[in-house]
Amino acid sequence: MAGKSIDYGHLAFEVIDRFEGLSSCPEVIGHMSKTLSAFGYTAFLVATAPELIGDAQPDFLLNGWPPAWTEHYTRENFYPDDPVIVHLRRTVDPFQWSEVPASLRAVRRSKQIKHDAAQFGLREGFCVPVFQNGGVIAGVTMGGRQPEFDPHAKRAIHLISLYAHAKALSLAHPSRPARHVLSKGERETLRWVAAGKSSWDISVILKVSEATVNWRIKKATEKLEAINRTQAVVKAIRAKEINI
C-alpha cells in the first residue's frame, strides 16, 4: 500500500464501524484478517500475556494464526521465551518485532522462535500492547512476509487493534450498556482526538486553551480507565460516548 495515497484514519474508522455489526468471534477474526491483509499481514493473534508465574499461558481471545503454527508454538512451549511477549509486558507503546531490544532477542530459544515463525510466513510483525482493568496485560500481534510499516498505517493498526481487543472482550463477557460518564466538553474533545487532531489543533477549533484540552483528555482517560488518549477514544466509541 502506498502511504501517501491512502487516508489511513478514515480507513481505521470504517473498519471499526463494521466491527459493531459482528456478533461472533469467527466473524471478528474474518473481518480482522481481511483488514490486516491489506497491510501485508497474513496472520494475527489477540491474547492475554500473563507474567511467568507457575504454568501461566496466554488466553487466546481471537486466534488468527495458522492452525499449524498455533499447534507448534504450544507444543514447543515457546511462550516463556518469546522475546515479543517479554517486550510486550514491558512497554505501553506499539512496536515492530524487529524493534525488540537486542538483549531480549538473545534470550533462550529466541532464534529458534524467529526461525520457526518464518517457516509459517511470519518473518516480521507488529505488536500492540493492551492494558485492561486490574492490571491484566494483553496484546494484539500480527505478522507476515513483508508487512506495511508506514507510520500512518501503524497508527491506524494501533486503533484497529485496540478496538478488536475490546470487541473480543465484549463477546466473551457480555455486559449491560455503560451509562455516560464523560462531560460534554470531554466528549467533544475526544471526538477531535479521534479525528487525528493534536491538542493545539483542538484548542483552536474549540476556542479554549491547550491546557484545557489536555485536562479534558486526562479526565476522560481516567474516567474510561484507559492508559492513553488512543485507548480512551476506543473505549469512548465502545461505550457510545462518542460517534464516528
- Provide the residue ranges of all domains of the chain, joining segments of one domain with +: 3-172, 184-238
pLDDT band at 180 (very low <50, low <70, confident <90, very high): confident
Q: Rounded to 10 degrees, what is the CA torsion of 183, 189, 195, 199?
A: -160
Identity at 105, one-letter amino acid code: R
Structure confidence by residue, pLDDT tens digits, 83-116: 999 999 889 899 999 999 988 887 778 999 999 9
For 133-161, b where at least 16 C-beta lie within 10 A, e where not — what string?
Answer: eeeebbbbbbbbeebbebebbbbbbbbbb
Going by pLDDT thresholds of 50, 70 and 90, the confidence category of residue 242 is confident
> Nearest Cα to 84, choosing from 73, 53, 226?
73
CA distance 98 to 190: 32
Listed in sequence order, the DSSP H helices in 40-124 are 67-75, 83-88, 102-105, 110-119
User: Contact at 8 Å (CB) between 203 and 212?
Assistant: yes
Task: For domain 184-238, give the fold.
Answer: Arc Repressor Mutant, subunit A (1.10.10)
**Other Cβ atoms closer than 10 A to 214:** 16
Place of cell 525488540: 100
88 closest CA partner among 73, 104, 76 = 104
Here the cell at position 92 is 505501553
Report d(CA 5, CA 233) in Å as an integer.
Answer: 25
Q: Which three cell numbers stand for residue 27?
A: 466473524
Would you call 63 helix, strand, or coil by DSSP? strand
Q: Give whole-number Cα distances, 60 to 37, 57, 130, 185, 217, in Å.
A: 20, 9, 14, 37, 32
What is the pLDDT at residue 194? Answer: 84
> What's the pLDDT tens digit per position in 6-55?
778 788 888 988 998 899 999 999 999 999 999 999 999 999 988 876 67
Mention every residue, 6+ apart, whose C-beta is less than 8 A from residue 17: 244
CA distance 170 to 157: 20
Question: What CATH number should be reported for the domain whose range is 3-172?
Answer: 3.30.450.80
How many residues are present in the chain? Answer: 244
Average confidence score pLDDT of the chain? 88
Q: Which range among 44-48, 130-134, 172-176 shows the weakest confidence by mean pLDDT?
A: 172-176
- In the predicted model, what is the mean pLDDT of residues 130-158? 87
